[in-house]
Structure 1
């Protein structure tokens, strides 16, 4: 085979390899659609360029093309490849394409060369000459193509160098280092083509294209330091084994040849087998020495995991956990910065569920910036759903991260981290380790990510415990603040209540004297014949007397409440016959019963033993209960006063006694307010809707009656409560007021200091 035939076959093979790379590139998209399309265009152009070398003579014989154009076809391709590579450099490294003006200049440049080659303007072959210099049309076209190639190559180098100088991110610098290798291969290939060494130039350009494809399609590039470490270790092991084999074979040949049955072939095979067995131990030993001497020591994973687990197992403070965990990772991998983020799922202000990332300071005093990530974000899918570490290089390269929101990109740029490692419990995503670049400038490799995943798994339980403790501390602090506020409010209410009680006591005392004078004079006028014989004056004086009596009654109620509030209620305890007391009370309301058409069903209490108590105080109890029943029972209703004997040991009143129940067929009581009605000044309904008469239906009053009832009954050591099916002014379910009083003289009557309203 002649060299020309070999060259043609080689170019065809190179074109086939370009085609394979193109198919792979079409199947696996890289950084972005634009960069991938540029790479596809570059590979297609390279295929046609190689085919030009393969069939250049065929083209010149079969196609009627100008000879100059056919001769310059390889350089057209070289210029176009350099220009596309310049666009690839700009799009990949600067994340934007070249300005349209540069495309226009390139098009004009290419048109200029085509005009010269096709001679569309009928230019002479010699365009310009003097005594020393001749410029031919052919040379000018060739020079323009070479100059264009040189400018594009220099521009690619300038773009690469500029981006490397401007960026501080080691991940980007690492990718630029790889791109520089591809750039050097491409430039060297162009130089070989210009030197007419076409096959070598094609192979170098192929290697440059393969490097570009690898850089664009692979998001996690291996560290060149690791590659260098492996190469150095392999070379050293190879040299060492060669030395050992040579020395061993020399020893065998010089000292064992006299032994009967010695075979050099067998000795060499045994020696080779021994070296084969020793290869892996020697490789590990050499790698360890290379790491220590040239690249630093290797990471002892078992020691790191053991120390990490022991250090964080008992930490319950979130800030301390972040500092210790990231600090240990820094010691192991020598990272420059790091932070811990807690992750919570919550609804935002717009009602959309998001992940809330809250930063916890670790290395340094600054608090990491918080963020909110949508549930459908690629970041959430990678870290939350896939439970996989996320490299910044993946965010820069992979197409799915092109659609991150502006807030997400702003947050990622503010972090300046190289890797994000999720922390998961069995069911939930609870945190993230965000780690910056390594101090050595090396990238994070698969073994580093595996180690970080293991550390994150160990951190999950400690992080969950720290968060729970933090929540408990926060709840406890909130409870203390709430309790303190409640105590302040309670003290304020007590002061208000005490002030109100003081006002009631003072006002009632001050009102009692003029009321007594007013009542006395009104009685004198009623007894005076001059006024009693006059119907008009008699009615007016009777109204004054009734109003004075009611006001006197209200003042007495206020005084009773004041005594109960100030623990000054004193009882004169003696046996009290309930049938006499209740009969007197009911007789006092006979006029109200008649006016309202109410029916009184009164049990006889003759068979009940007397109760132990103060007659006047107990009279007030049943006076208020009966009056209350009259006020809230519609006209024509029924009021029942019934009695029951309570045996000792009964659940509702163990000491035993007599139970008096005042029932009515009135509007009833809302179950929610059965206890509230016994407080001071409580009124049912709206005050403006109450009538003014004390025995009128829903008549008005100061709201002190039931409070006095409870205070007096408690002072007797008894019990009072209310029952009702509910409140209904149409169906009138009625209500029942129960009063239990002790019967024996042994019943404990509370001293004034133990009574409360």
Structure 2
């Protein structure tokens, strides 16, 4: 081919590179500054090569000095542009100090331009020397700066994929520099071809995310060469030499010899070569595991683990045994639906370093979260640094991944949910994770799903149990404090109140003769208030005694009907004052009971008093009592306000009332009446129950064993509301 044909071919190649890269960069969504800088570089190279065509035609072939100077300016200008491309490729932050080489090269290029367009009065030879010196000096400075920045970046990174990327760039720099050198010293086109190859290599590593691992290619070539040599030696030792010693060639035809060699090759040589290949593949290329065996052993190790920390330790330990990694961590992923975020929290492993292990929150729209939810595929730190899909990460999120110093991230996902993340460091050998490695690790991550779900469930149950125990402990402490407070307050108030009661009794007996009607009325009100206060204090003391287990029943044999009549006699007056109809129905039969008469009287009083308080004037109250073979049952019905369904379960609690009105609460008491009823009935081995309907009324019942608390009731609480006497003698709740 002629020089003109070579130059035209190279120029066409540059045009194709420019067009191809311009379209590919936009389609792949590359980093904008890098892609634009490389497109400009390819465009300048294309323009320079097209300009060179003019100097190989017959018309301009005599201007070789001018062509050489143009070549010098081409080399220097492209070197400057390639240095700018290197800044963006190597992700170097440009500062004044780091731009010194670029500035010096630009200054020398400007001198060359001045000398080219405005020749000085210096001698031609001196001018040529000055021009060449400026161009050569500028090129060497820029080339040295580019090589220095590439080597510095290579030393700064430690992950295999990042280093492989730097190796490609370093090779591109060397090839382009060597091509430029040849272009300046020789008149052929080999330098142009090398420059073209170097640019293609640089474009390849910019465009292709998963560039071929040059280190593995070299190792594989060495291993194949070793296998070839070993195979040849085995062939000679196993086939040719034994057959020659046996004299096969002396008494056999050529076909027989080849048949024997083929049989020996299949039965002896081929198995030996396969064995050697597998061993070299394991030792040299790093594949020292059997996939099916690894999957089986991992499943056996983690499938039955229910402790989250043990699971993390065993899983990471097994991965380390298989792949020999520098470190590994397990993160739990909790989806917070209301906040639309994922919360990643590290699982602590005893003895493992926790440097950099801080929890992090990702929004649903975070690029990492979207990648995991959409693909459920692993990703690497290399992907985070260079793939366009992860470009939306914030600076804080990128810093979080960087400080982990990890190489590979393995999501652990169910069919619909992201539940965990394995964070793995680089291999100790310095080699990268291969596609086979990542596929196997993905399988192990999928096997971890069931174990991680079980461990999380156990952990949640344990945490809930601990929280419940802590809450119960706090409640017990508060309850004890409340009981102590009630005990202290009531005992401190009892003495002065007793003095007031005594003074009121003296006043009522001897001091009423000289009082006016209004004063007598006020005295009666004060007396009622003092009695009410005394009842409250007595209730508080009794309540505190039950809470502190200080109540001792004083049981005796008595007629329950007599006790009921005794309690209801003063209560009937209270009901009449409120215009309530109070009726008593007692079934015929033996009403003898072994119990604490005083405490049962308190329980009856509070049940009836509660009905009177919460029944409006004109209402009705029925009290029923009946005996069975084993128990005395009591029923109190009213047509009062009723109890809201959501408060039925809390009315037996201390200081609880169905009415939440704080103003009425003081009028209706402390809310201890029903609580004391339950305490007293339970102390007798009995049961309490309630039915209520808002706006209709309520039924309160209790039952106690007839023969003392030592023989508790065998009937269930449901029996209290299904008794023939109740259904016949007492009206329904309506």
What's 1:696 paired with? none
- Cα 1:56/1:271, change in 2 over 3 Å: farther
Q: Which of 219, 238, 243 does residue 229 from structure 1 map onto?
A: 219
Whether 1:13 aligns to 2:9 is yes
Deviations 1:617-642 (A, max 9, x none): 9998887777766665656x254557
- Cα 1:570/1:562, change in 2 over 3 Å: farther
User: 1:711-722 alignment to 2 at 5 Å?
Assistant: none
SS of the aligned residue for 1:226 comes to: helix
What's 2:342 paired with? 354
What's 1:193 paired with? 183
- Cα 1:426/1:242, change in 2 over 3 Å: same
Whether 1:90 aligns to 2:75 is no
d(CA) in 1 for partners of 2:643, 2:234: 107
SS of the aligned residue for 1:373 comes to: strand
What's 1:73 paired with? 70
d(CA) in 2 for partners of 1:701, 1:295: 86
What's 2:432 paired with? 443
Are 1:571 and 1:617, in contact at CA under 8 Å, matched by a contact in 2? no
1:237 Cα deviation from its structure 2 partner = 4.4
d(CA) in 1 for partners of 2:569, 2:283: 114
1:414 Cα deviation from its structure 2 partner = 0.5
d(CA) in 1 for partners of 2:580, 2:250: 143
SS of the aligned residue for 2:432 comes to: coil
- Cα 1:361/1:24, change in 2 over 3 Å: farther
- Cα 1:617/1:752, change in 2 over 3 Å: farther
User: 1:267-278 alignment to 2 at 5 Å?
Assistant: none
Whether 1:472 aligns to 2:461 is yes
Deviations 1:354-390 (A, max 9, x none): 3424354487432523222232233223344322221
Deviations 1:445-490 (A, max 9, x none): 2222222222222333333332222222222222222222233333
- Cα 1:505/1:567, change in 2 over 3 Å: farther
1:542 Cα deviation from its structure 2 partner = 8.1
d(CA) in 2 for partners of 1:615, 1:469: 51
What's 2:143 paired with? 153
What's 1:38 paired with? 37
SS of the aligned residue for 1:135 comes to: helix
1:497 Cα deviation from its structure 2 partner = 4.8
Mean Cα deviation higher: 606-615 or 197-206: 606-615
- C-alpha RMSD over aligned residues: 5.0
**Which structure 1 residue ranges, 5 or more long, are not aligned?**
129-133, 649-653, 692-698, 727-732
- Cα 1:270/1:20, change in 2 over 3 Å: farther
Q: Which of 555, 558, 567 does residue 573 from structure 1 map onto?
A: 558
What's 1:457 paired with? 446
User: 1:586-735 alignment to 2 at 5 Å?
Assistant: 588=573, 593=577, 598=579, 600=581, 611-612=591-592, 637-639=618-620, 641=622, 663-664=638-639, 670=644, 725-726=693-694, 733=695, 735=697
Are 1:504 and 1:559, in contact at CA under 8 Å, matched by a contact in 2? no
Are 2:630 and 2:707, in contact at CA under 8 Å, matched by a contact in 1? no
Structure number with the bigger relative contact order (C-alpha 8 A, sep ≥ 6) is 1
What's 2:730 paired with? none
d(CA) in 2 for partners of 1:606, 1:430: 66
d(CA) in 1 for partners of 2:597, 2:309: 71
Whether 1:386 aligns to 2:375 is yes
How many residues align structurally? 696
| TM-score, normalised via structure 2 length | 0.77
- Cα 1:97/1:272, change in 2 over 3 Å: farther
SS of the aligned residue for 2:90 comes to: helix
Are 1:601 and 1:639, in contact at CA under 8 Å, matched by a contact in 2? yes
Mean Cα deviation higher: 619-628 or 215-224: 619-628
Mean Cα deviation higher: 39-48 or 607-616: 607-616
SS of the aligned residue for 2:125 comes to: strand
1:720 Cα deviation from its structure 2 partner = 7.3
What's 2:324 paired with? 334
What's 1:26 paired with? 22
Are 2:227 and 2:273, in contact at CA under 8 Å, matched by a contact in 1? yes
What's 2:116 paired with? 117
SS of the aligned residue for 2:305 comes to: coil
1:310 Cα deviation from its structure 2 partner = 3.2
- Cα 1:277/1:144, change in 2 over 3 Å: farther
- Cα 1:188/1:471, change in 2 over 3 Å: same
**Which structure 2 residue ranges, 5 or more long, are not aligned?**
546-550, 714-734
Are 2:105 and 2:142, in contact at CA under 8 Å, matched by a contact in 1? no
What's 1:427 paired with? 416
1:405 Cα deviation from its structure 2 partner = 0.5
| TM-score, normalised via structure 1 length | 0.75
Are 2:333 and 2:342, in contact at CA under 8 Å, matched by a contact in 1? no
What's 2:548 paired with? none
Structure exhibiting the larger radius of gyration computed from Cα positions: 1
Are 1:579 and 1:606, in contact at CA under 8 Å, matched by a contact in 2? no
